[in-house]
Each structure stands twice: as C-alpha cells, then as structure tokens.
Amino acid sequence: MGFTDQRFTVNSSILFSELPLLERPAAVAAAGFTALELWWPWVDTATPEQAELDALKKAIEDAGLQLTGLNFYAGQLPGPDRGALSVPGEESDRFRANLKVAADFAQSLGCKALNALYGNRVEGVDPAEQDKLALENLVLAAKEADRIGAILLIETLNKPESPLYPLVTAPAGVEIVDKVNEATGLGNAKFLMDLYHLAMNDEDLPAVIEAYADKTGHVQIADKPGRGAPGTGELPLEDLLDQLKKAGYEGYVGLEYKAGDKPSAESFGWLPAEARAAR
C-alpha cells in the first residue's frame, strides 16, 4: 500500500502559508491535490464579516477543492495560543460565538469534520475549572457539528512545543473524546491522531494505532524532527499509514508539515503526482 493508497488533504494554513489566504486554494489545486483543510483562518476574530467568508468559499469552489476539515476559533494559531475553549473569559466567549459561524461555513462547503483545540493552561486558574469549562464548550461544539452532520475532532499536541497544553498523550485525548460522547449521547466526537505530535511525545505509534484506530476521525502527518515532509526525518510514515489502513481507518490524511526554505509547491516530491488526488 504505502503513500499511493491514501486519501491526502493539504493543510493550507501551514503549507502555502507564504501566499495570501485567497490564493492558497488555487495553489493546492495546481499541485495536483483535490482536498484541503484549514485552521481557523481569521486569527484576530471569531466572527469575520460575511464578505470574508464568502470570498474564501468562492476561492475554494473556484479551485475545485473539497474542504475536509476546519478548526473552530483557536486564538493566535500559529503562535502562542493553543485553543480557546478552556480559557475563561473573553477567549471562551469568542469560541462560543464562533461555533455557528464555523459550522455554517463548513456546511456550505460540504465539510464533515470540525476540530476544537483544547486550550492552554492559564496562570492563576484552577485546572479543574478549565476542564469543566472545556467539557461544557466541547458539548456545545459536538452539538453544532452534529447539526451539520459532521464529527468533532479532539487533538493532542506535544509537550516540547506546547508545554501549557494539557492534552499531550493519546490516552488523554481519547479520554476527553469519551467524556464528550458520554455527555452528549451523540457519539460524534473523535480522536485526531497527529502522528507528528505523538512522536514528539515519544509515544509508541504502532501501539497507539492499535489501541485507538477505531476512535480516530482524522489523521495528520509530518516527519520528526523538524516537522518537515515525509522522508526528511526518522518516522516510518508509510508503514504507519499502512497499519492505520489495515486497522480500518479509511479517512483523509492531512499533510500538516512545514515546507522549509523552499516554496510549498516544491515540497511534494515524496508523493507521486497521480497519488495526490483524493479518491
């Protein structure tokens, strides 16, 4: 199997980020891909003007791409923030204000996966208070995702790069998935298995796949170290994706790596052109 038997989607918030937002979909298509995913594109606002939403929708449609995943508002990403939903006060309020906006945008493009980053620990706030708020907001997010027929993704990051983010192991992420599903009864919360973040946490990736493939709603990859393209580091990503497929995972694999010093369009040499269109 290997790379040629996967359904790839390009995260155009990290790849092609050298281009203006509205030019990225066309660049993704020009590189031979048919699907893309996005972090919340407007880091300064959870509720952009409708004209901005419409312009991005048009750019994606004009490029002939499928939007496969979208983050809810998560603060300054990339940057120091790692989510908003567990941060009391204005950030949590922004997250809630964003729920319908993000879900409606996703629905308008047939997107079936919404990702909710948990949020950093905040100095002076009881972690238990943050966890309580997080569950309340994740329940709201799961219900909003369910309204449009989508799943809610919950992601673990890695401690070296996100030391204030509390979900830095696969079991921790899956525990929250289970809590949300128990609270809502909807069953639409799923684990986002990011192999790069898990590797940075020195987790046993084959064991994680064996344990949690059935609870996984999306997969993302980058090589370690450096978060570069497959083949630039030490991870056996082809073998790991094969294992995921054998374990029953049939979803998209998000390319969430850094292109390095070269243009993003030149970073796909590891993947044959005929394997780039999602099937």
Instruction: Provide the total of helices (H) and of strands (E) in the chain, helices listed first.
Output: 8, 8
Which is nearest to 256 in space by CA: 157, 169, 168?
A: 157
Q: Active-site residue among 37, 91, 144, 256?
A: 256
Active-site residue flag, 61: no
The phi, psi pair for 160, rounded to 5°, reads -60, -40
Cβ contacts of 144 within 8 Å, gap of 6 or more: 99, 100, 102, 103, 114
| Whether 155 is catalytic | yes
- Residue tagged active-site, from 18, 155, 234, 266: 155
How many CB atoms within 10 Å of residue 126?
A: 10
- Count CB atoms within 10 A of the CB of residue 136: 15
d(CA 180, CA 109): 26
Q: Which helix (H) or strand (E) holds 20?
A: none
Residue 218 has φ and ψ, to the nearest 5°, of -160, 155
DSSP string for residues in 217-252: EEEEE--TTTS-STTSSS--HHHHHHHHHHTT--SE
Contacts of 71 (CB under 8 A, 6+ apart): 38, 39, 40, 77, 102, 114, 115, 116, 117
Which residues carry out catalysis? Answer: 155, 256
